[in-house]
Structure 1
Amino acid sequence: MGGGPVTDVSNADRTPAEARALFRDGLVTPTAGWSAGWTQANLLALPRDLAYDFLLFTQRNPKPCPVLDVLDAGQVSGPILDGDIRTDIPAYRVYVDGELTDETTDVTSWWRDDLVAFLIGCSFTFEAALLEQGVPVRHVEQGVNVPMYRTTRRCRDAGAITGPLVVSMRPMPATQVADAVRVTSRYPAVHGAPVHVGDPADLGIADLARPDYGDPVEVRPGEVPVFWACGVTPQAAVVESRPSLAIAHAPGHMLVTDARDSSYLV
């Protein structure tokens, strides 16, 4: 894979179909800030014999795994996607027996008719609302991928699926934390309010400058780190649970759907 973050502000104005066409043609970029007003989603596709266990996992862990849609086995498009989940994401990860086996821009060759695709809410959806309230979104400012961290908090197990909570982090002045909580709590379908504010050690995070996924961002004097449950949690569960095959988005490289952000606002 190649390429880097695209910082052209016009990317915010692209329709989902335009964005997906660029990704299908090979553009690799984190999708934060793309297609403003349109919902982005995490992807995890698993064999049908594990689909019930994973659906139960999402129900037991709704903060990191808020389900937007579940496609039938083998299906590659659906009500919130007039496209193809095998080609329309900027970058994918393929896991075999829990091991990261391939990173690619097209998973057509890996696709099987027994795979069930889960589309899971993404915190990128509420970032436009944060920006409208003057709350900084540092990874967008810096043109990098959002930093994400595996924590020592455990998700509730479901059948064969087990794993830790993964969080995303956005630093901000302490005076703006209440605004961030208020804004994001109105988006429960895309992770909702933060799960932790302040000391990363309370989550078992040793060094903010070394995220497990994504890129580090600047934490300025007087700012505190704010952590949200993250849709990369299912990939951490894949590594622990070791299904025979799993296909996911590359962290930060999301599926831009045809659903409106406003449809998930409460």
Structure 2
Amino acid sequence: MTALSAAAERLRIRSGAYAGQTAGLARGHVQANLAILPADWAGDFLRFCQANPKPCPLLAVSEVGDPALPTLGTGIDIRTDVPRYRVYRDGVLTEEPTDIRDLWQGDFVSFLIGCSFSFEEALLADGVPVRHIAMNRNVPMYETNIDCVPAGRFAGKMVVSMRPMAPRDAIRAIQITSRFPSVHGAPVHFGDPAAIGIRDITKPEHGEAVPVEPGEVPVFWACGVTPQVAIRTARPPIAITHSPGTMLITDLLNTHLSVL
């Protein structure tokens, strides 16, 4: 965990001084997944998020062509304030820059989606261990066989993040995260990874693997990397997302997201 404020962390990222994962940065502040699309694709993507609130809980949508997000923080520039981006062209990942000012288009719309890093703070505060934070790793993320609800040109399978836990901690984690629907809410699965199409728990498609110790159960939450699967399927001419684990740090407080 760092002692820097959300604004200070964004400035550090904007300057190029930091391009790593953001778990544990600016403690207490909401972090957000990102998807940027041309305006003529934005309506379909908005409906996709509305149809799939577990993996795609919307926190904010920008004005067309505007890189600012005033409802999420003062002075945010979405072109520079994410540590690392992914650029998709016709559904194919082509590059992972740390700044997208030279790629910005006047018709771009930014979608900011809730991130499970927010509920991790509540887990830790309640004494529930979070292994990837303890190991200073990016959370492991897996592409599953769970279908998202299609909307317009967007469809695809759900991506999930995994945290191994003792059964008693898993029960408590379900209770705690159910209070945070705007950052994925309660898990979508726990137990046998094969039941949701995960062949090898040691080989996540995104992030870094963490060990599942004897007596522990893997617990899976819907993940904001899901839009990247939908973008690969829809194949817009250009789309820009965050690189998994490297989020926008907002001025919002995690405590304000709890519904109870």
Q: Counterpart of 1:112?
A: 105
Of 177, 185, 192, the match for 1:184: 177
Q: Normalised by the size of structure 1, how large is the TM-score?
A: 0.95
Give how far 1:178 is off: 1.1
Where do 1:93-132 residues align within 5 Å? Answer: 93-132=86-125
Give how far 1:108 is off: 0.7
- For residues 147 and 21 of structure 1, the distance between their equivalents in structure 2, rounded to whole angstroms, comes to 27
Q: Normalised by the size of structure 2, how large is the TM-score?
A: 0.97
2:4 is equivalent to residue 14 of structure 1: yes
Q: Counterpart of 1:145?
A: 138
- For residues 130 and 20 of structure 1, the distance between their equivalents in structure 2, rounded to whole angstroms, comes to 25
Where do 1:158-197 residues align within 5 Å? Answer: 158-197=151-190
Of 76, 80, 95, the match for 2:72: 80
Where do 1:184-263 residues align within 5 Å? Answer: 184-263=177-256
Give how far 1:81 is off: 2.6
Of residues 36-45 and 71-80 in structure 1, the stretch that sits farther from structure 2 once superposed is 71-80
When the two structures are aligned, how many residues end up with a matched partner? 256
Q: Counterpart of 1:57?
A: 48
User: In structure 1, what residue type is equivalent to 2:230?
Assistant: A
- For residues 60 and 258 of structure 1, the distance between their equivalents in structure 2, rounded to whole angstroms, comes to 27
RMSD: 0.8
Matched position secondary structure for 2:45: helix
Between the aligned residues of both structures, percent identity stands at 53
User: In structure 2, what residue type is equivalent to 1:168?
Assistant: S
Of residues 121-130 and 24-33 in structure 1, the stretch that sits farther from structure 2 once superposed is 24-33
Matched position secondary structure for 1:104: coil
2:55 is equivalent to residue 37 of structure 1: no
Matched position secondary structure for 2:139: coil
Matched position secondary structure for 2:12: helix
- For residues 225 and 14 of structure 1, the distance between their equivalents in structure 2, rounded to whole angstroms, comes to 32
User: In structure 2, what residue type is equivalent to 1:54?
Assistant: F
Of 128, 136, 143, the match for 1:135: 128
User: In structure 2, what residue type is equivalent to 1:236?
Assistant: V
- For residues 126 and 212 of structure 2, the distance between their equivalents in structure 1, rounded to whole angstroms, comes to 19
